[in-house]
Amino acid sequence: MRATLVFDLDGTLAETAPDIMATLNHLLVREGLAALPVSAARNLVGAGARALLERGFKAAGEPLGPERLEALFQDFFVHYLDHVADSSHLFEGAEAALRQCREEGFALAVCTNKPEPHSRVLIEKLGALPLFDAIAGRETFAFCKPDPRHITETIRLAGGDPARSIMVGDSRTDVDAARGAGIPVIGVTFGYTDTPMQELAPDRIISHFDELRGAVRALGL
């Protein structure tokens, strides 16, 4: 089996905060609340849309009850799907690094808590869909990160072996899931996390995709 690299999506492969925050702000303003700055994304994005809505509405001064949260959750994804790539883009060096890894024989996969349909549309609009052997979203399996099975099953979906795989992510959710799966993890410093990546102590840390291949080699793949 080919060695496999598994990537988180939001904040790892792609800068998606502007479009995610734009959808959150669309709902906040619709509900009569003030919009939040895109700079708030680091503390809001990364744990899924429900958490984003809970955190965002709390930050705007109006905590959500369960029924209202569920209704807003559905509205969020309808609006976001239509605007998933208005301003989003791959991080600098990401496409070149992915192409290099494919040329060297790696299988590549995405393991994200973003819904799979939204993930596929986003990756396609960013021109990267042909680079991946598998894309697994929040509902692809009956579990999602930080459950380690989300990573291991994504690897198997890509035709890989968890024993010859590495996770690349930007948050505690990614690090914890990889640790639970017994898989080395590379943390990026440019993503969405309320805890600095250094404090999460991944196996390697990169601050640019130019550093990815060296970090992978250092971990034995």
* Residue where a domain terminates, one of 82, 107, 128: 82
Residues shown for the chain: 221
Are the CB atoms for 171 and 10 separated by under 8 Å?
A: no
Active-site residue flag, 210? no
Cα–Cα distances in angstroms (integers) from residue 16 to residues 5, 109, 152, 154, 160, in the given order: 21, 18, 25, 22, 27
Domain with 44, as residue range(s), is 17-82
Find the catalytic residue in 8, 10, 19, 133: 8
Query: How do the pLDDT tens digits run along the chain, 221 residues long?
Result: 799 999 999 999 999 999 999 999 999 999 999 999 888 877 787 677 888 899 999 999 999 999 999 999 999 999 999 999 999 999 999 999 999 999 999 999 999 999 999 999 999 999 999 999 999 999 999 999 999 999 999 999 999 999 999 999 999 999 999 999 999 999 999 998 889 999 999 999 999 999 999 999 999 99
The whole-angstrom separation of Cα 58 and Cα 61 is 5
> Helices (DSSP H) in the chain: which residue ranges?
17-30, 41-44, 49-59, 66-82, 94-103, 116-125, 149-157, 172-181, 197-200, 212-218
- Looking at 82, 100, 129, which one is the last position of a domain? 82
Residue 44's CATH number: 1.10.150.240
Record the tokens describing residue 116, joined without a space: 């799979």
